[in-house]
Chains A and B, each alone.
Chain A
Amino acid sequence: MAPSDRRNFLKYSISGIPILYAGFIPDGLNLLIESDLTLFSDIAGKHPDMEVLNDRPLNAQAPAHLLDEAKTSKERMFVRNNGLPPEDIDIDKWTLTIEGESAVKKVVLSLQDLKTKFKQQTLQLTLECGGNGRSEFDPPAKGNQWSIGAVACPEWTGVRLKDVIDLAGVKPDARYIGYYGKDKHLSGDEDKVVISRGVPMRKAMESESLIAWAMNGEDLPHLHGYPLRLVIGGWPASCSGKWIDRLVIRNQVHDGPKMGGQSYRVPCDPVAPGTKVEDDDMCIIESMPVKSIITRPKSGAVVTVPQVKINGKAWAGDLSVKSVEYSIDFGQTWMPCQLSNPKNRLAWQIWESVVTLPSEGYYEIWARATDDEGRAQPMILPGWNPKGYLNNACHRIAVKYVV
């Protein structure tokens, strides 16, 4: 059952009462719970091996081996929805409004305007959820328990965000842009904004920051923002708003839902694991840290020859990756891998090597990337933070050599 069908079913099926808010249920009423709460584990249009972490709102990740493609296909791209995708989308009537206190003038563009009045760009850009790796935090952090697969690098087609912002004009006091999308809040409140984040002007005006309508040469998939989304490569993917119909140019740090409080923020100064941190002491995450994954072989390989070909991906937020190494002795020694250049700035890089296992037994192959400023991935969980963001600890796979 598609997520949207299920939602409608849920709204009306419990005892036939339309439920929009939990609060409509009289306290103490012993409702007969119908079987409509059943979870679903398959998402239409997704690879069957995608792991569904949450089915309302929908959140799903790829196991590492599914990310072996150079360009991530739509079947394998992670899904991180905060609300419910809009339905009954009429692309002929869809518009994007650019306004805000630091916009010189308000501009309203149709999809056709966007496709014809600006120079089109096609770029491969890496999107990674800020909470990718959260499942390893101890004490545990709240939220979707992503392990490794909330990352993807498809090819996006659209126009530069900068070109559209320039059409509206930017006042000298402009500091931030924010997006608004048409997804619906889980509570059913039509007026409630699900998520509205953004980026500082300097990031918005980069050549790689896009307003995109296509992914891998096709219209955006419905789950990934059809018909229009932002793509802000290298930053937490929540900056890349989906189903967008409005951009605001702000004279302050944008203050939409999930910009403030503890959302997509980490302690400004490091804290001991488990520390409660006040909102005022939390700082907004910008570039994601250096990270790599082993996409081949899939963990659990039993080999009968000592040579094992390995490959994977590496990325470093706003930076590029300088080197990738592997270890088969838990980091005592590291061997270099061959590393390709990115297809363009902010695209992930492909690496490969051949491991030689010295004798029979159980091995873990660990990969470690280093960015072009010399920062490498840690082998253990890096700085604990209350919401479990930015875990860029080395990925590892299990391999057994039997003769």
Chain B
Amino acid sequence: MTKKLTVSVILLSFLVLLIGCQDEKKSIDSLKVKDYGITNQKVLADIKEGIHQPTGLIAGNGITEVLVKCLSCHSSKLITQNRATADGWKSMIEWMYETQNLPNLGESEPIIIAYLAEHYAPTTSGRRKALTDIDWYELSD
């Protein structure tokens, strides 16, 4: 019974959204769409200087799928603090399928992996990095 109700609510919301989106599409910032490949009005409005401000995610094609499919379960910080190749991100998603109840991402999977591999690719750091971002202060005993 509850399930039926939930499904109805979802379908109804879907319709409302479809109608709602017609108006919003007119006001989409065409420059941002071109730059980031993002068409969602709300997501676009939250982007400043290439960063989706609420989540800290880098703006780019596929961010909407990440916001909807990844962040309904975990924080964006799990993404922004990690770096991996497409294979590495794929293996993390597969781990979530196998052990964390992540439902199949379907067509969104390659979009999400491409987004992650492009914006959160590994960099080489060697065996020990130089100390950086040192916040100098006066020490007096």
CA distance A30 to B104 in the complex (A): 18
Q: Is A15 an interface residue, CB under 8 A from the partner? A: yes
CA distance A33 to B46 in the complex (A): 10
> Could you say which of B6, B17, B135 contacts A18, with CB atoms under 8 Å apart?
B6
Give per-residue flags for A18-29: 1 if the beta carbon is below 8 A from chain B beta carbons, else 0.
Answer: 110111111111
Chain B nearest CB from A88 CB (Å) reads 21
**Could you tell me the dominant secondary structure of chain A's interface residues?**
loop
Chain A nearest CB from B92 CB (Å) reads 6
Residues of chain A within 8 A (CB-CB) of B81 are: 53-54, 144-145
Q: Are A142 and B82 in contact (CB under 8 A)?
A: yes
Chain A's closest residue to B105 (CB) is A22
CA distance A21 to B141 in the complex (A): 55
Given the known A-B contacts A22-B68, A54-B78, are A30 and B39 also in contact in the complex, defined by CB atoms under 8 Å? yes
Q: Are B10 and A56 in contact (CB under 8 A)?
A: no
Residues of chain B within 8 A (CB-CB) of A16 are: 9, 13
Q: Is A308 an interface residue, CB under 8 A from the partner? A: yes
CA distance A19 to B68 in the complex (A): 10
Given the known A-B contacts A33-B40, A187-B102, are A27 and B54 also in contact in the complex, defined by CB atoms under 8 Å? no
> Could you say which of A32, A38, A304, A380 contacts B17, with CB atoms under 8 Å apart?
A32
CA distance A241 to B141 in the complex (A): 41
Q: Are B103 and A21 in contact (CB under 8 A)?
A: yes
CA distance A18 to B81 in the complex (A): 28
Q: Is B124 an interface residue, CB under 8 A from the partner? A: yes
Q: Is B4 an interface residue, CB under 8 A from the partner? A: no
Q: Is B129 an interface residue, CB under 8 A from the partner? A: yes
Q: Are B102 and A140 in contact (CB under 8 A)?
A: no
- Interface size of B by Cβ–Cβ distance < 8 Å? 62
CA distance A56 to B9 in the complex (A): 27
> Could you say which of B72, B103, B122 contacts A10, with CB atoms under 8 Å apart?
B72
Interface residues of A in 152-192 (CB under 8 A from B): 185-187, 189, 192
Q: Is A37 an interface residue, CB under 8 A from the partner? A: yes
Given the known A-B contacts A17-B9, A30-B21, are A187 and B73 also in contact in the complex, defined by CB atoms under 8 Å? yes
Chain B nearest CB from A347 CB (Å) reads 28
Q: Is B49 an interface residue, CB under 8 A from the partner? A: no
Q: Are B139 and A301 in contact (CB under 8 A)?
A: yes
Chain A's closest residue to B78 (CB) is A54
Q: Are A25 and B68 in contact (CB under 8 A)?
A: yes
Q: Is A35 an interface residue, CB under 8 A from the partner? A: yes
Q: Are B131 and A396 in contact (CB under 8 A)?
A: yes
Q: Is B55 an interface residue, CB under 8 A from the partner? A: yes
Residues of chain A within 8 A (CB-CB) of B106 are: 27
> Could you say which of B42, B92, B95, B137 contacts A34, with CB atoms under 8 Å apart?
B42
Q: Are B69 and A25 in contact (CB under 8 A)?
A: yes
Q: Are B17 and A15 in contact (CB under 8 A)?
A: yes
Give per-residue flags for B1-23: 1 if the beta carbon is below 8 A from chain A beta carbons, else 0.
Answer: 00000100110011001001100
Given the known A-B contacts A10-B72, A300-B136, A364-B131, are A15 and B13 also in contact in the complex, defined by CB atoms under 8 Å? yes
CA distance A136 to B77 in the complex (A): 17
Chain B's closest residue to A38 (CB) is B54
Given the known A-B contacts A22-B73, A22-B102, A38-B54, are A139 and B122 also in contact in the complex, defined by CB atoms under 8 Å? yes
Q: Are A138 and B82 in contact (CB under 8 A)?
A: no
**Chain A CB within 10 A, most for which of B41, B127, B129, B136:** B127
Residues of chain B within 8 A (CB-CB) of A400 are: 136
Q: Are B77 and A22 in contact (CB under 8 A)?
A: no
Give per-residue flags for B117-140: 1 if the beta carbon is below 8 A from chain A beta carbons, else 0.
Answer: 000001011111101001111111
Chain A nearest CB from B37 CB (Å) reads 14
Give per-residue flags for A292-324: 1 if the beta carbon is below 8 A from chain B beta carbons, else 0.
Answer: 000001111111110011000000000000000
Give the 7 A-B CB pairs with smallest separation, nearest first.
A23-B103, A187-B101, A301-B139, A56-B75, A380-B127, A38-B54, A145-B81
* Chain B interface residues toward A at CB < 8 A: 6, 9-10, 13-14, 17, 20-21, 39-43, 46, 54-56, 64, 67-78, 81-84, 88, 92, 95, 99-104, 106-108, 122, 124-129, 131, 134-141
* Chain A interface residues toward B at CB < 8 A: 10, 14-19, 21-35, 37-39, 52-57, 136, 138-140, 142-145, 185-187, 189, 192, 257, 261, 297-305, 308-309, 364, 379-381, 393, 396, 398, 400
Q: Can you name 13 A-B residue pairings with CB atoms under 8 Å? A: A15-B17, A17-B10, A24-B10, A25-B68, A27-B108, A33-B40, A34-B42, A37-B54, A37-B76, A38-B55, A138-B125, A145-B82, A301-B139
Q: Given A33-B68, A145-B82, 5 other A-B contacts at CB below 8 A? A: A21-B103, A22-B69, A22-B103, A187-B73, A187-B102
